[in-house]
Amino acid sequence: METSQREDQQHAAERRRQELLEAADRVVLREGPGASMNAIAAEAGITKPILYRHFGDKGGLYRALAARHTDALLVGLRAALDAPAERRDRVERTLDNYLAAIEARPQVYRFLMHPADEGQPSEGGFDVGRHSAPLLRRMGEELAQVISERVDLGPDSDELSRAWGHGIVGMMHAAGDWWLRERPFPREHLVRHLADLLWGRLASSGDLPGGPGF
């Protein structure tokens, strides 16, 4: 009986946590990097101390939101990489998947990747930009694993796959950040330009025997 009650309490707490994250998402979609704990608590219909009880501080809330959105993005990137298509098409689909995600929810992207912009003060000394590097590192490691599983890079495979994984993520982030701010041309143009840049040794490398291909 006690075990069942504990499990029910845990499930209820997780449901409440997800409800609070959804409320935070709504505020971030409206306000971007300027989203405050006060505004999120008001959106959720609770007081800020209760919000702190669930997440500790804005850093805890940020990390929970970051995990939520990064998980979804990685699912999309892996699906694009594993699509039944030629390698060049999969590279373009992967690039487009990332760019489409940040284009669809630019305020969420800015919240995750940038401190409060346009002179807005950070809340409680929390600097979102200082926390964005772990997200990029995680994406770099994930992409490195995909490359190592699919491309025959010879004896230096581990070294090359990690260098390429982090390099490609850095390129996508920097180019996507610039493009999202300036919108100098359509998204499909940037996809093609970045794919052209990548289309060097990757195009000439063979697939690993028995692997899913890339």
Q: Is the pTM of this model over 0.85?
A: no
Give the pair of three-digit tokens for residue 17: 């946590």
- Is the pLDDT at 116 greater than 60? The verdict is no
Quick check: helix, strand or coil at residue 105? coil
Position 130 confidence tier, pLDDT thresholds 50, 70, 90: low
Going by pLDDT thresholds of 50, 70 and 90, the confidence category of residue 120 is very low
Supply the pLDDT for residue 36: 87
What pLDDT is recorded for position 168?
A: 93
Residue 86's region, left for phi above 0, alpha for psi from -120 to 50, else beta, is: beta
Greater model confidence, 147 or 166: 166
Taken in order of first residue, the domains within the chain and their CATH numbers are 62-207 (1.10.357.10)
Over residues 152-166, mean pLDDT:
91
Residue with tokens 């070294």: 159
Evaluate if residue 181 carries a pLDDT over 80: yes
Q: In this predicted model, what pLDDT tens digit does every residue of 51-92 receive, in sequence order?
A: 888 888 888 888 888 888 888 888 888 888 888 888 889 889
Q: Which long-range contacts (CB under 8 A, 24 or more apart) does 49-53 make?
A: 51/20
Token couple for 90: 């999969």
Backbone phi, psi, residue 12, to 5°: -65, -40
- Please tell me the predicted confidence (pLDDT) of residue 212: 58
Give the mean pLDDT of 132-161: 86
Mean pLDDT over 117-121 rounds to 45
